[in-house]
Amino acid sequence: MTQRLHLVFGGELVDPSKNVFKDVDDIHIVGMFPDYKTAYDAWKSEAQRTVDNAHTRYYIAHIHRLRDEEAEVSPTEELG
């Protein structure tokens, strides 16, 4: 069975209309999750916890999309 890993992270943005973090060293890594549902639940919890700060945003990164399990070498492995 193929895992569909998802990373949930967030932090304070420079401008709420852009996706640029104010301080990359201060990004909050919520965690890695085995499927979208659990990642979404974690994202929603953090988003609701920080709803009063318009500059704070949380995201779900689809880690499984970075690697093509069918290919002998994925695009990121070709860089090394």
Per-residue pLDDT of the chain (80 residues; tens, 9 = 90+): 567 899 999 999 999 999 999 999 999 999 999 999 999 999 999 999 999 999 999 999 999 887 666 666 555 555 55
Strands (E), the chain: 6-12, 28-33, 56-62
Q: What is the reported pTM?
A: 0.78
Domains and CATH numbers, the chain: 1-55 (3.30.70.2400)
In the chain, % helix, strand, coil (3-state, to 5) comes to: 30, 30, 40
Cβ density class 14-46: b for 16+ within 10 Å, e for less: eeeeeeebeeeeeeeebebbeeeeebeebbeeb
Distance of CA 69 to the CA centre of its chain: 20
